[in-house]
Amino acid sequence: MAARLKGKVAFVTAAGQGIGRAIAETFAAQGAKVIATDLDDKKLSGLDVAKKASLDVRSTPAVDAMAKQVEKEFGSLDILVNCAGFVHHGTVLECSEQDWDFSFDLNVKSMHRTIHAFVPGMLNKGHGSIVNIASGASSIRGIPNRYVYGASKAAVVGLTKAVAADFIKKGLRCNAIAPGTIESPSLDDRIATLARNTGQSQEVVRQAFIDRQAMGRLGTAQEVANLALFLASDEASYVTGQVHLVDGGFAL
């Protein structure tokens, strides 16, 4: 199936690498006009999309200004994908108030900002699909050393369901994707940090991530993007308010 998003306008945050980049590339390949954003716009190099821009999703003025600019250039969105996030490692004992505030600001409030900015245009258009990246570490499953991360991603699940319920009769759908452990530059950075902090080799730390996956391997960003494509497309027109796992059995 080709051109599944032909003519649709899609906005993707954290599109510079990992899941966000795979989604931006997949959507563009399927005919969407993609606006790809990242805090570090240099990471967007090489993306073949309609627009690339730097965006700090922790700044309400920046998000609001971007929404106005996108509306002026492309019209109202058809698709919004919220990928920005941060994985804090540790229990409640290793979570300072600053860690908590940063995690919730980036993992949850950033989604509030983009949804608040773009939903009015979607409602005027009469349709739209929002896809939020949650996690298997959330209300789905508790895992060690993911205290504030799991709490923030559980909040993403609640946010997703609330948005879906509020606009279910107005043509707007909102779903969440809960990935398992995905091969990405972010994971590489976390493995390197954990190896330094524990005195283990990176190979040992990486194998520990693999060993906790039921399939015995890590997932790929493309596997997440494939699910995002379905949820963003008209094929999922009867799907809203749900958490969709792409986790290799992580939640079993």
Retrieve residue 5's tokens: 């998003």
More confident residue, 186 or 31: 31
pLDDT in tens, 84-141: 999 999 999 999 999 999 999 999 999 999 999 999 999 999 999 999 999 999 999 9
Best CATH choice for the domain 9-182+220-246 from the list 3.40.1350.10, 3.20.20.150, 3.40.50.720, 3.30.70.520: 3.40.50.720
Look up residue 205 and give its DSSP letter.
H
The answer to whether the CB of 77 falls within 8 A of the CB of 34 is no
**Who's near 6: CB < 8 A, 6+ residues apart?**
30, 31, 32
Retrieve residue 221's tokens: 């960003």
Residue 61 has pLDDT above 80, yes or no: yes
- Report the C-alpha gap between 152 and 109 in whole angstroms: 10
Q: Edge-to-edge strands of the sheet including 172-179?
A: 51-54, 33-38, 9-12, 79-82, 128-133, 172-179, 243-246
Give the H/E segment covering residue 25.
helix 18-29
Q: Residue 198's pLDDT band (boundaries 50, 70, 90)?
A: confident
* HSE-up (13 A, CA, CB side) for residue 181: 20
- How many residues does this entry show for the chain? 252
Kindly report the pTM of this predicted structure. Answer: 0.94
Write down the domain spans for the chain. Answer: 9-182+220-246
- What is the set of active-site residues? 149
